[in-house]
Amino acid sequence: MDVDRFQYLILMGLCLLITLPLEFLFGARVWRRPRRLAAALGIPLVIFVVWDLIAIARDHWDYNPQYVTGWELPFDLPVEELTFFLVIPVCGLLTLEAVRNVLNRD
Amino acid sequence: MEYTWPAIVSVLVVIAIELFWLKTGLFRKVTFYVSWAIILFFMVLVDGWLTKLSAPIVLYNPAENSGIRFPWDIPVEDYLFGFALITLTMLLWDRAGRGEPDDGSSRRTRILLIRRR
């Protein structure tokens, strides 16, 4: 099997892995508040997926078939892009909450 | 430059959403700027990998962006896109956490909690 096809997905997996200590060693408590997390992720997910779909349709950017799985969701959205819009905001929230906890301020 | 203008507008819209609607106060907090300094560092690493011209994962149409790519081959528009995405999520996170005893949105709450222990 060609590992290169999973490069984008593996990169997203590494982002989750490298930020995991923020939750459990730096007391971020993002993963442990799933309802609040869902409330924060939902609207940006919809907005940025729509932006992504328009950008793909209007040829602002495209994905290198060499480094993506080719698994596509409705409207030809690469599964990697959905992953991106879930993983990256979570990493941002983990950073914010870890900083809050370490600095012990709002 | 159909990537450039929406990217700029998205940042302005997110700032407007905070100032005129959500009013979480996040932009007045030190934690926001410290967090962003850290996020920016890792954003350069991740986005640098996604956009590097030697083996790009994302292919950009040069007609639709400014052509300014820094550092390495990251289109500068990506920083605006990333700022809008992550900051909007942070604002909604803080909004959703209003009223939670441990939401960190009030020092007074935390002090009260500490006293209670």
Does residue B10 fall inside a structural domain? Answer: yes
- Are residues B42 and A91, on separate chains, in Cβ contact within 8 Å? yes
In a mutagenesis test of the B interface, which of A15, A87, A96, A105 is the best target, namely the one with the most B β-carbons within 10 Å?
A: A96
Task: List the domain range (segments joined by +) for residue B71.
Answer: 4-87
Q: Half-sphere exposure of A1 toward its Cβ, with a 13 Å CA cutoff?
A: 5
For B12, other C-beta atoms within 10 Å of its C-beta total: 11
Does residue B103 fall inside a structural domain? Answer: no
Tell me, yes or no, if A63 comes closer than 8 A to chain B by beta carbon: yes
- Are residues A8 and B88, on separate chains, in Cβ contact within 8 Å? no
Tell me, yes or no, if B89 comes closer than 8 A to chain A by beta carbon: yes
Task: List the domain range (segments joined by +) for residue A38.
Answer: 3-103
Number of domains chain B contains: 1
Please report the ipTM that was assigned to this predicted complex.
0.97
Rounded to an integer, the average pLDDT of B88-101 is: 91
Tell me, yes or no, if B96 comes closer than 8 A to chain A by beta carbon: yes
Tell me, yes or no, if B52 comes closer than 8 A to chain A by beta carbon: no
When computed from its CA atoms, the radius of gyration of chain B, rounded to whole angstroms, is 18
Number of domains chain A contains: 1
Does residue B29 fall inside a structural domain? Answer: yes
Contacts with B, A 16-45, CB within 8 Å: 18, 29, 33, 36-37, 39-41, 43-44
Contact in structure between B22 and A32 (CB atoms under 8 Å): no
Selection from B8, B26, B43 nearest residue B88 by Cα: B26
Does residue B66 fall inside a structural domain? Answer: yes
Does residue B51 fall inside a structural domain? Answer: yes
For B76, other C-beta atoms within 10 Å of its C-beta total: 14
Does residue B95 fall inside a structural domain? Answer: no
Taking the whole predicted model, whether its pTM rises above 0.95 is answered as no
Report pLDDT digits (tens) over A36-74.
999 999 999 999 999 999 999 999 999 999 999 999 999
pLDDT band at B110 (very low <50, low <70, confident <90, very high): low
Helix axes B30-51 and A79-103, enclosed angle (nearest 10): 150
Paired tokens of B45: 């690493």
| Residue A12 pLDDT > 50 | yes
Q: What is the mean pLDDT of chain B?
A: 90
Report pLDDT digits (tens) over B80-92.
999 999 999 999 9
Does residue B92 fall inside a structural domain? Answer: no
